[in-house]
């Protein structure tokens, strides 16, 4: 499976943000050009058929095509359903430009600088890819990614992403509900937590081979079961209407929008169901600074970064893009009940 890295993509190939934000009309025009619509209707189906997808790929510009050779990927991406506008899965805030999304990343497996992932992940191989399901579950096993995704309809969700380092983005993800995956593997009554692991492959991930590495690999993360089952919890396989770039966590990553970004583990190879709270990498590294929950909370500050303000990327000399941070990153109405009665300064 071939995925272009940011350095392989010419600026001319990238869909202008203004066009992407009106992508439903753009797709409609592309489909009509391909002869799909016999009538005068300008409405795009909420889910494209396989034939529609073929025609779109045949006529769309290169930035919408870049399809990996695996046919099952092409089929899945031809039937993406946009989330309901204005709902919990969508925000009308300005999208972070694509180039910033794919070139400004924390992915220590490839290095600690923000530019390291996009520079060093160019040859990262994600096909074939398998995910192990283990622990307190009725259907354990090692699942090829194709089989894991097969039952699930992909959809687009536009979420805020807030890093503990005080920068933030707004990103259009492609993926499916984590809760749907959990239901499909039938956890037992003992499953109270869900644990995740990232790939360990120092030959492909040079940050893991560095003598200056501060993390004990593999990178691990976890959620309480009710957090994992929450409708906002999302497994992403794409971004900006296209396949997930390796520097962003290809081929499959977690997105939990009300938590700091380090909870959204990338390049997942194992999902375990446990009775006890699982260890998490940053909590193991410095428990006084990084709690298990890591909910976005403007009232609880990190020792090095105040959390009541953030910088929404892109930042320029004349536009620092500072704004107030919202409780639970703006998702309090949806998730605050999960932590009712908890001291959020203690369980941070």
Structure tokens at 290: 């990084």
Q: Is the confidence at residue 308, as pLDDT, over 70?
A: yes
Which pLDDT score is estimated for 43? 24
Compute the mean pLDDT over every residue in the chain, rounded to the nearest whole number: 83
314 contacts 321 by C-beta, under 8 angstroms: yes
pLDDT at 266 over 50: yes
**How confident is the model at residue 204, as a pLDDT?**
96
What's the rounded Cα separation, in Å, for the pair 170 and 160? 4
Q: pLDDT tens digits for 160-191?
A: 999 999 999 999 999 999 999 999 999 999 99
Confidence (pLDDT) at 77: 83
Closest listed residue to residue 164, CA positions, set 307, 271, 334: 307
Average pLDDT over residues 129-142: 97
Whole-structure pTM value: 0.82
Which of residues 19 and 272 earns the better pLDDT score? 272
- Taking the alpha carbons of 331, 333, 337, 339 in that order, is the dihedral positive or negative? positive
| Model confidence band, residue 82 (pLDDT cutoffs 50, 70, 90) | confident
209's enclosing H/E stretch is helix 206-209
Q: What mean pLDDT do residues 121-150 have? A: 94
Structure tokens at 267: 């390049």
- pLDDT score of 170: 96
Q: Is the CATH number of domain 6-339 3.30.460.10?
A: no
Q: For residue 207, what pLDDT band results from cuts at 50, 70 and 90?
A: very high
Largest Cα–Cα distance in the chain? 63
Give the mean pLDDT of 182-203: 98
Confidence of residue 17 (pLDDT cuts 50, 70, 90): low
Q: What integer pLDDT is reported at residue 68 of this predicted model?
A: 54
User: Which of the two residues, 65 and 208, has the higher pLDDT score?
Assistant: 208
| Residue in this structure with the two tokens 């307190």, named with its chain if needed | 136
Q: In the chain, what are the domain boundaries?
A: 6-339
* Per-residue pLDDT band at 72 (split at 50, 70, 90): confident
């Amino acid at each position: 499976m071939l995925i272009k890295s940011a350095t392989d993509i010419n600026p001319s190939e990238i869909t202008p943000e203004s066009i992407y934000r009106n992508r439903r009309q753009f797709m409609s025009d592309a489909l009509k050009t391909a002869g799909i619509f016999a009538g005068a209707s300008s409405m795009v189906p909420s889910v494209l058929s396989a034939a529609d997808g073929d025609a779109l790929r045949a006529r769309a510009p290169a930035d919408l095509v870049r399809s990996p050779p695996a046919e099952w990927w092409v089929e899945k991406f031809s039937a993406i359903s946009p989330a309901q506008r204005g709902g919990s899965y969508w925000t009308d805030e300005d999208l972070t430009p694509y180039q910033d999304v794919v070139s400004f990343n924390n992915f220590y497996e490839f290095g600690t600088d923000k530019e390291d992932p996009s520079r060093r992940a160019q040859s990262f191989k994600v096909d074939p890819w398998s995910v192990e399901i283990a622990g307190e579950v009725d259907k354990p096993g090692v699942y090829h990614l194709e089989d894991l995704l097969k039952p699930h309809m992909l959809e687009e969700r536009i979420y805020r992403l807030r890093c503990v380092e005080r920068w933030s983005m707004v990103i259009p993800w492609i993926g499916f509900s984590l809760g749907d995956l959990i239901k499909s593997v039938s956890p037992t009554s003992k499953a109270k937590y869900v644990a995740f692991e990232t790939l360990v492959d120092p030959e492909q991930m040079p940050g893991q081979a560095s003598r200056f590495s501060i993390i004990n690999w593999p990178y691990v993360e976890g959620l309480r079961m009710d957090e994992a089952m929450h409708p906002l919890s999302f497994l992403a396989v794409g971004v900006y209407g296209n396949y997930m770039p390796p520097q962003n966590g290809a081929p499959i990553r977690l997105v939990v929008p009300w938590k700091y970004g380090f909870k959204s583990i990338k390049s997942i190879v194992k999902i375990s169901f446990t009775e006890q709270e699982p260890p998490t990498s940053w909590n193991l590294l410095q428990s006084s600074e990084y709690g298990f929950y890591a909910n976005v909370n403007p009232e609880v500050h990190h020792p090095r970064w105040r959390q009541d303000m953030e910088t929404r990327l892109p930042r320029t000399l004349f536009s620092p893009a500072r704004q107030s941070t919202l409780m639970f990153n703006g998702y309090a109405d949806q998730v605050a009940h999960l932590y009712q009665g908890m001291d959020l300064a203690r369980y941070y």
